Amino acid sequence: MTDQILVLNAGSSSIKFALFDYDDTPVELARGQMSGIGVHPRLVVRQDATTARDEQFDHATIVDHHAALGIIIDDLHARLGDITIEVVGHRVVHGGAIHAAPAVIDDALVTELAGLCALAPLHQPHNLDGIAAARDHFPDALQVACFDTAFHRSHPWVADAFALPRALYDQGVRRYGFHGISYEYVSDALRQIDPAMAAGRVVIAHLGAGASMCAVHGGRSIDSTMGFTALDGLPMGTRCGQIDPGVILHLIQQRGMSAEAVTRLLYHDSGLLGLSGISSDMRDLEGSDSAAARQAIDYFVHHVRREIGALAAALGGLDALVFTAGIGENAAAIRAAVCRDMAWLGIALDGIRNTAGERLISGDGARVRVFVIPTDEEVMIARHAGRLLRAATP
């Protein structure tokens, strides 16, 4: 019997979605996104690698996630005929310290996840809006939460703790790590491509508007650049990345900034946008003649290179480096800059392979193999949701 799985990734004003048939493995039927909810709603749906629909709506007709999901469901029915959603899989950014695996959603879990909103304010409240909408539209379907933090629960204590009083760690002030669904997918993909490398010491660079890196050994997360929140580590599109905590104290105590103003600064006005004053999009910066754009790119590359070294140290060496996500998959010049003069670590790119965006872009004979592997969080969520559905079905 083939089940149908709907995967949802709800953001502040968007819902990314994908529909799958599931019989041991997911088979994609369609995917797309409703963006601009409440402002300029736009639905894009792709089926069979083509753009089958691109339509804008009156903002008054789609004011929230519930209405947006209704439009998405209507489109899928019109496109595919009768569909019966047996399970809905949700991307949930924060699962806290407890959840090391996907979980079936019930009222108690929703309440628990709502308590984590302060740790992921850009994402968690909107993930919960998507869950609420799906539970209304599909009251009889199994609802499954897949957590971006779960993959990192295998960290050793030294990679999880801050050097703060132990009581704070016990109360949940610790390094959680994020982008775990992507790291899990890429780790599985690498296992199919090169089992020997997947069993070894791997650094995965998830480079996009949100950016982080992860040290993986034998398919298990050992360390990650993101910490207590999704602000830490690498500079991102609009997020600052690593910063001296004293800067925050200075902004509050000496500059008189409120907590709300500092939050706005760190989450929305920093990163590539703040450094360049031009854009948060790497493509815009690469196409700009501005010196500030060049500096922003150089800053990004420098910090990626530094973290490769740090994560290799955490692993005790390096066997493979994997680039993924928007920048990692598409920006050959950024990959080249990151890997330049890294022969001391065993990294050497083949320029032709890199420019062509081939799967393996390291040079013949290089000690560290370098890959470009597109991530697919929707497929990973569908796999988990399908397994939990089968486990729950007598």
- Closest by Cα among 216, 260, 268, 219 to 240: 268
- Closest by Cα among 93, 102, 97 to 123: 93
Give me the helix-helix angle, 65-80 and 124-137, nearest 10°.
50
Tell me the C-alpha distance between 105 and 311, whole Å.
Answer: 34
* Beta strand 201-206 pairing with 212-217: antiparallel
Length of the chain: 394
Tell me the C-alpha distance between 389 and 152, whole Å.
Answer: 24
Return the exposure string of 217-243: e unless at least 16 CB atoms fall within 10 Å of the residue's CB, then b. Answer: bebebbbbbbbebbbbbbbbbbbbbee
Tell me the C-alpha distance between 337 and 342, whole Å.
Answer: 10
Structure tokens of 219? 């398919």
- Residues with a known catalytic role: 148
Residue 389 one-letter amino acid: L
Structure tokens of 216? 């993986």
Largest CA distance in the chain: 65
